[in-house]
Structure 1
């Protein structure tokens, strides 16, 4: 079994909160992790129709079975439980009574906010990080972009493209129907594929609406569906205006780069070696890796990008409150002076020094003015630098 970095944070939360919610995309390893950390707790899968009906129709009797708590998997399927769960938690001071998992952030957050606010500790669990599978992951960039990081692909010898295609089909048929009464799933799938074609780009909802054939309000609703089920996220522009002309649109990224590749129609890894989207997908992979490093330790997302109206841009700004760390992301394996243009502009504008370039090569360099060039394979060490 592959160890998860987030295990330490889950144990930490279990010593503080009466209930813990582990949320993340389907197949990210939530059930495996909570069963490992809480092996003595009864496990209930609320995707099971019989269990779900019992919990929905008689929530009090359902919870009475578990005097010492339980693991409730996909608990967003039974919102009727939460008000009764509140009473159970309030009657006992024991920590880590119930462990809740969910792959639908909107429905789960809605239920917890209404009934369990202040009683629940949160852990966001995304698919594997690069450091968790460093001895198992492909070493070539195009192969890594094709495979992505969903745990089942590292557990069994699945055909990658088929597994990801099935994941997409199952997601659309099951999770999308739970969140919204979307009548035309064929159009929604077209929208999903168009999103993959916008990885790393500014999110223009009007253009996306025209290409999909729906209005912009529908696009906003559908983006909300994808965000709530941990398919995509919006990277926000940094709010500090150094010259009052910054871009205010967010950028679009996928939580798993393999899924984005599959939606682009990539059939095999070799097709990505010289693919026009290789740079955008590499950028996506690096940004999500940085995000995982935060979430696995229970920290909030502090990642932004910066871009002004003239097109000058920094791929990532890490905002540590008392310092801003600019990062440029380059998929190429050979370091060139163009890699430093964005950082030079940023440092001249802000009066700051330093920054990082994360690239597809293998050589670490420390340049003048504190700029570091870091191979993508050393991403796991970036927070220690």
Structure 2
């Protein structure tokens, strides 16, 4: 099914990055149906352009000065960016450059387009995009990557998705020399979802060097399947945790890498829901600019934590995520501990219960649906 995405078409050239199967090509076909198109997954075209890079310039010359040109899987031939830069500067052509990895683009001089092409990212389907089709249990079990969500056999497609990632992104780009080590690393890293990164522990469990783990995590970020969330240094008269936390881009991907295919268990639901909320925040921020920075906060000498602290200019909103269906006063411990943060305008607990209310000390308690409505309406701040 074709869902209306949050992504909007810019007026000038742009990169659109996102993990495989997230819907980049489908979206760009819907908004630029008459654009000149180059799909670098077409092996014949890829081979021709690899043998004769100047061919790209000759083909693009047929486009009019205000036309759009789409290059799909641009990371396969990053050398094309030289010609893209020339065509933008000399002829005013507009390019939509789609990719599932920023790895080769970073090393191949994407800065050539600095100031001439925006950088946008497409995320898995959000609750707002799914509308009436959204189901939290299904979202946590299978994730919402369109390739998986639209499949009649979601479980089978999800199980093969990790292999698609290894085959298309890792082997094709020769991103790692020791593929066996990377294969061992992936399920260990999936177990670290929504946790503070401990590279030494991951290295020990995966049987690789600690420095290798750091490189592997960079690969996860470059191929857009995971992100690191930094720790907030609020300096609230307590020692604060500084290690970043690791979050995968989609709960289904986490489960696939851990080879968990059944219903979501109580033990895994908390981390999956926390990661899901982060995904919603990141996706909406990409298109609505909800915040300037996002981090988590935790004192080192206690077990309390605030999952997400958003900053917009000099204001902050703090969000704690709980997987329980009933409210408990312990949910607000972290939010009370961060109450003295300068510019803190709102504190929110998101949980799976049905009732929205506000505590005596003005902490908002929100069901998941309330969060989704607030994100769609930019209601996080007030």
**Cα distance, 1:61 vs. partner?**
2.1
| 1:75 paired residue number | 74
**Cα distance, 1:101 vs. partner?**
0.1
**Cα distance, 1:191 vs. partner?**
0.8
**Cα distance, 1:352 vs. partner?**
5.1
Alignment of 1:263-278 (within 5 A): 263-269=257-263, 272-274=264-266, 276-278=267-269
The answer to whether the 8 Å contact 2:291/2:310 transfers is no
* Distance across 2 between alignment mates of 1:121 and 1:352: 31
Cα offsets for 1:284-340 (capped at 9, x unmatched) = 111111111101336776211001111331111011121111111000010111111
* Distance across 1 between alignment mates of 2:49 and 2:289: 30
**Cα distance, 1:130 vs. partner?**
1.3
Verify: 1:136 aligned to 2:144, yes or no: no
**Cα distance, 1:142 vs. partner?**
3.6
| 1:6 paired residue number | 7
Cα offsets for 1:206-230 (capped at 9, x unmatched) = 1111111111110011111111111
RMSD: 2.0
| 1:289 paired residue number | 280
* Deviating more after overlay: 176-185 vs 188-197: 176-185
Q: 1:99 aligns with which of 84, 91, 96?
A: 96
Q: TM-score, normalised by structure 2?
A: 0.91
Q: 2:220 aligns with which of 215, 223, 226?
A: 226
Cα offsets for 1:40-60 (capped at 9, x unmatched) = 112221022211122222222
The higher relative CO (CA closer than 8 Å, separation ≥ 6) is in 1
| 1:304 paired residue number | 295
Q: Residues 258 and 181 of structure 1: is their aligned pair in 2 closer, same or farther, counting only changes over 3 Å?
A: closer
The answer to whether the 8 Å contact 1:180/1:225 transfers is no
**Cα distance, 1:121 vs. partner?**
1.2
**Cα distance, 1:104 vs. partner?**
0.4
Question: What is the number of residues matched between the two proteins?
Answer: 370
Structure 1: 5+ residue stretches without partners: none
| 2:27 paired residue number | 33
| 1:84 paired residue number | 83
* Deviating more after overlay: 195-204 vs 343-352: 343-352
| 2:359 paired residue number | 367
Describe the SS at the equivalent of 1:132.
helix
* Distance across 2 between alignment mates of 1:43 and 1:77: 15
* Distance across 1 between alignment mates of 2:256 and 2:140: 10
* Distance across 1 between alignment mates of 2:362 and 2:173: 47
The answer to whether the 8 Å contact 1:44/1:71 transfers is yes
